[in-house]
Amino acid sequence: MAVSGLIFIGFVLTHMYGNLKAFGGHDSFNEYAHHIREFGEPILPHEGALWIIRVALIVSLVVHVACAVALWRRAAKARSVKYVVKKSKASSLSSRTMRWGGITLLVFIVWHLLNFTIGKVNVQGGATDDPYNLMVDSFDVWWLTLLYLVAMVALGMHLHHGVFSAAQTLGLTNNDKARRNAKAAGALLAVVIAGGFSLVPIFVLAGVITK
């Protein structure tokens, strides 16, 4: 769970950085999208690096979900009779919403891939062969931007607890200071990644990033 989660963190960080190329304009963004496909050539075949990343992500996803399902099932079996009254005393909202938040992210990822990678859905009905234009057309639609922002809240919360939890699972938080640092790292990564992703849709909707 922790290791596959760390792979995801590395991925979303680079993905977020790449998205910020939208602020560089049409050519900068499309050149980046095109370059990912040429990355590593000529040693790697065309789209070779991209497929290595994709396979690593799919394997991580399978591991991550399998662990989550196993933990969820164990938890259900460990307390078959529920409390009449049960308070949450010290846990963060993000730690208590990892499972439903994870499902939310999974559903979002399916839509996101349909939107920009597999299906290339342009909700405005325009062209889909130009990554930058497809992106601007998508985020010009207020409800689609809202959907992405909600997903980024879910991602931020998942990261907030996930980073700390991964550090615990890997045995890296053996004292007060390390524990506080891991929690701070979780909060920082949540804000940087979810915030960084949110910038582009917000600026498209606000009309700053245009075709």
Partner 1 sequence: MKFTLNIWRQPDAVTAGKIHTYELDEVSEDMSFLEMLDVLNEDLNAKGEEPVAFDSDCREGICGSCGLMINGEAHGPEVTTTCQLHMRSFKDGDSITIEPWRADAFPVIKDLVVDRGAFDRIIQQGGYISVNTGAAPDAHATPVPKDKADRAFDVATCISCGACVAACPNGSASLFVGAKITHLGELPQGQAERDTRVVNMVAQHDHEGFGGCTNIGECTAACPKEIPLDVISRLNWDLHAALRHGK
Q: How far is the CB of 70 from partner 1 (least distance, A)?
A: 7
43 binding partner 1? (CB under 8 A): no
What is the identity of the amino acid at 54?
R
175 binds partner 1 (CB under 8 A): yes
Taking the CB of residue 207, how many other CB atoms lie within 10 A of it?
8
CB of 88 to partner 1, least distance (A): 7
Does residue 143 interact with partner 1 by CB under 8 A?
Answer: no
Question: Site for partner 1 (CB under 8 A): how many residues?
Answer: 38
Q: Which of 43, 86, 129, 143 binds partner 1 (CB under 8 A)?
A: 86
Between residues 145 and 173, which has the closer beta carbon with respect to partner 1?
173
Question: Contact residues for partner 1 (CB under 8 A)?
Answer: 70-71, 74-75, 77-92, 95-96, 98, 161, 164-165, 167-176, 178-179
